Structure formats: structure tokens, C-alpha cells
Amino acid sequence: MTPPLDLVFAALADPTRRAILSMLLEDDMAVTDVADPFAMSLAAISKHLAILDRAGLIARERRGRVTWCKLDPDGLRAASVWMQGFGQFEPVHLDAFERFLAAELAAGPDHPERA
């Protein structure tokens, strides 16, 4: 079952969790290795990992005494599909708009096309 979009976006809302996902893009990591770059307790990192796991963005696996984390690429699929729905709108072409404004301003207020 796919987690609801609310869980995915709530997980992505936190910069620490986004940083963890970026780290896991490189390779699977032990929880202690995930915690190393952050100035927070192992318990706090574990809470972040639980949120990412519940959202379906990572998977955790015990190997002996060590818990490993790996990115679950399918976890973002529903969010990606939802966001692509907004891609139907034509992007704003600022360069073309800037050229248009420059031409209009250069033509001046008495230009025949502006009457």
C-alpha cells in the first residue's frame, strides 16, 4: 500500500530529512553513519528515520547489530506523478518577455502600434 501524499510531503518538509535522503542517494548507510554529520542525538536521527520509513521514502534493515538504511526510489513516485500534473501549464518565458518590454519602451509612447 502506498503511503498518502500527506506523509510524503510532511517527511520532505524537514531539511534534516531531505539531507538524509540526499546522503542515501549515494549508498546504503548504517544509522550511526547517517547520524554523524548532524549535531543531534542518535535518538533524534532515529525519529527522523522513522518518519522517512513511514512515508515509504526509505527502508530499514537489521544486519546483525546494525540497522542499515537505504533509499526507496518508489517512495517518491506518487508525489512525482501528482506534481507532474502541474506541468501542463506553459512555463513563463522571461527572456522573451524582457525583449518585448525593451522593444515597447524603446518605441516610446507615440509609436503607432501603441495608439
**Tens of pLDDT, residues 30-69:** 999 999 999 999 999 999 999 999 999 999 999 999 999 9
SS3 for 71?
strand
- The confidence score (pLDDT) of residue 80 equals 87
Structural domain containing residue 10: 5-114
**The three grid cell numbers given for residue 38, joined into one nine-digit string:** 548532524
Report the CATH number that the domain containing residue 40 is assigned in CATH: 1.10.10.10
Q: What is the pLDDT of residues 59-99, one digit of tens each?
A: 999 999 999 999 998 888 888 888 888 776 666 667 777 78
CA-CA-CA-CA torsion for 8, 9, 12, 13, nearest 10 degrees? -150
- Mean pLDDT to the nearest integer, 89-111: 71
DSSP SS3 for 111: coil
Please choose, from the candidates 29, 61, 32, the residue with its C-alpha nearest in 3D space to the C-alpha of residue 46.
32
- Smallest CA-to-CA distance from 57 within 84, 90, 80 is with 80
Q: What is the pLDDT of residue 114?
A: 47
Structural domain tally of the chain? 1
